[in-house]
Amino acid sequence: MNVIPNAAMPAVHTQGLSKIYDNGRGCRNITLTVGKGEAFGFLGPNGAGKSTFVKMLVGLVHPSEGAGSLLGHPIGSLEARRHIGYLPELYRYPEWLTGEEVMKQHAGLLGIRGAEAKIRVREGLDQVGIGRRGSDRVKQYSKGMQQRLGLACALLGQPEILFLDEPSSAMDPVGRRQVRELLLELKKQGTTLFLNSHLMEDVEAVCDRMALMLNGEMIREGSVTEMLKVKVRWRFKVGGFSPVLLDWLREESGLRVSWAEPQSGKADADVGDDWEKPVWLEAELEDENQAGRLNALIVEQGMTLYEAYAQREKLEDWFLQAVAGRDQRGERG
């Protein structure tokens, strides 16, 4: 596939890209476009084919069918690889080297030498929080530290497209937050991000668009907000509530109000005959005005409103719903 690069060229483009292994696994017919400067999240259960797809993009796996390009250059070509940084999912760096030496080797592979290499190595190690521990051997690094080193290596060439396969899976919460902030900063600087992650909050916080893969096929694709676009569910903790008031509330408000199970950490509400005991009500509302109207009706009837809050659907819920009921090939055959 010979594509001539130009300013309007997407960062990533694939057309029917497939990789079918002998055991039938892999991924099939993936057509995808990611714009320059966009942050794209790639989701899917284990064994869905996400890593295979990314490996084709970075030139590690040869496609069975289809074609793809990075910034207009055919995937796997030297020119395409000149513009990317890649953090593999399963990786280790040579244990007998120090973090700095690993970085210097990668600088050499990128053609960065001398004083510039020294500066970039130092900056890179500082950027991911390794700092002075760069002079320690890799065998003394924890998994999280190795992941930071991997990220530093991926960023070393100041890539236009950054492919990250589970970038913070081995990190502690502080490390994850740092990585997330780093990704947001890179996004602000215009780097195209392609994020394979099981950590939904990373995808939700960083990505503009996302796709869901299942059993080697891309089953959904769209913007994160669009994919999560559902009516906001509101919850109300009400005291002095009687079951007979539920129908009245529905009639007066014209909304589908229902009993709700107490959430974890909010377990003092229950539905029962004890009128004094607070209960939880739930309703899907379009905007805050409807919530205000419902509040007013509750108070108008002499009930006590203890708490009200909007409950947005999390990406994790969306993900579970999206794959629910579908056969998954998982990690086994």
Partner 1 sequence: MKTIIAATWQEMLRRKMLLITLVLTLLFMGVFWFIADTIALKGQSSSDLLARFERRGATLGLGFFFGGFVVAFLAIFSSFSVVSGEAEQGVLQSVLTRPIPRWKWYVGRWIGYVSLIGAYSLLLFAAIVCITAAHSGMTRDYGDMAVSLLLFLVAVPALVSASMLGSCLFSGIGNGVFMTMLYGAGWLGGMVEKVRSFLPVEPDTEQTLSRIGALLSLLMPADGLNRRMQYVLTQGAGESIPFLTGGNPPSNTFVIYSLCFTLFAFVLGLWLFKRKDL
Binding site for partner 1 (CB under 8 A): 19, 55, 58-62, 78-79, 81-82, 84, 86-94, 96-97, 101, 105-106, 108-111, 150, 153-154, 157
Rg (CA), the chain: 25
SS3 67: strand
Give the nearer residue to partner 1 in terms of CB position, either 48 or 61: 61
Shortest Å, Cβ 17 to partner 1: 14
Give the nearer residue to partner 1 in terms of CB position, either 59 or 240: 59
Shortest Å, Cβ 62 to partner 1: 6
Shortest Å, Cβ 236 to partner 1: 51
Runs of H (alpha helix) within the chain? 50-58, 78-81, 99-109, 114-127, 143-155, 173-188, 200-206, 224-227, 244-253, 288-300, 315-323
Shortest Å, Cβ 280 to partner 1: 48
Give the nearer residue to partner 1 in terms of CB position, either 10 or 76: 76
CA distance 290 to 294: 6
Nearest to 80 by CA among 64, 98, 60, 57: 57
Give the nearer residue to partner 1 in terms of CB position, either 88 or 239: 88
Shortest Å, Cβ 11 to partner 1: 16
CA distance 38 to 231: 26
Q: How far is CA 315 from the centre of its chain?
A: 9
In which residue are the tokens 């939904």 written? 200
CA distance 3 to 255: 54
Give the nearer residue to partner 1 in terms of CB position, either 99 or 150: 150
Q: How far is CA 202 from the centre of its chain?
A: 4
Nearest to 315 by CA among 199, 177, 170: 199
Give the nearer residue to partner 1 in terms of CB position, either 164 or 298: 164
Give the nearer residue to partner 1 in terms of CB position, either 91 or 306: 91
- Is residue 246 packed enough to be buried (19+ CB in 10 Å), middle (13-18) or exposed (0-12)? middle
Shortest Å, Cβ 86 to partner 1: 4
Shortest Å, Cβ 51 to partner 1: 10
